[in-house]
Structure 1
Amino acid sequence: MESAINVLISQFKTYAGKDGSAYTLSKEEFKSLLTSQLPNLVKNASDPAVVDQLMSSLDANNDGELTFLEFWQLIGNLANKHGGFAQ
């Protein structure tokens, strides 16, 4: 599990570092991460409306960017559904 966490952190930092802050994902960085890293778990990841909806549901402080903790909520939700734990 440690290696999986390290991969998640590394990928977050890679995408977050593309523009602006290296510690948050902008909407464009988030869309890029979704379409390249989670294309089978996030349906219609390239659809701007889907990205907007996901972004607003995760962005707890409404600053237009996602911190790692905000992003982690998506990972938890996807893992929950993918693992069959969601009711």
Structure 2
Amino acid sequence: MESAITTIVSQFKTYAGSDGSSSTLSKEEFRNLVASQLPISVKNASDPGVIDQLMGSIDENNDGELTFSEFWQLIGKLASKQGGFSQ
């Protein structure tokens, strides 16, 4: 599990850092991350409307960017869904 956590953190920082700040994901960075790393887990990942809706559902402070904590909510939801756990 430690390697999975390391990978998730590393991927977040890589995609978040494309605009110079590795602490948050912009909408564009989030779209790129989802399309590249979660194309099966997120249906229609290339649809801008899907990305807008998904980002809006986890952007707790509605600032248009995702912190790692906000992003982690998505990972938890996807893992629960994949594992067949109720939410």
TM over 0.5: yes
Q: Percent identity?
A: 74
Rounded to whole Å, the distance in 2 between the matches of 1:20 and 1:4 is: 24
For 1:50, give the aligned amino acid.
V
For 1:72, give the aligned amino acid.
W
- Where in structure 1 do 4 or more consecutive aligned residues deviate above 2 Å? none
Give 1:13's aligned residue: 13
- The CA RMSD over aligned residues, in Å, is 1.0
| Worse overlay, 30-39 or 14-23 | 14-23
Give 1:25's aligned residue: 25
Rounded to whole Å, the distance in 2 between the matches of 1:86 and 1:16 is: 30
**Residue 22 of structure 1: CA displacement?**
1.5
Rounded to whole Å, the distance in 1 between the matches of 2:14 and 2:27 is: 14
- The answer to whether residue 62 in structure 2 is matched with residue 67 in structure 1 is no
Rounded to whole Å, the distance in 2 between the matches of 1:72 and 1:78 is: 10
For 1:25, give the aligned amino acid.
L
**Residue 20 of structure 1: CA displacement?**
4.6
Q: Which runs of 5+ in 2 are unaligned?
A: none
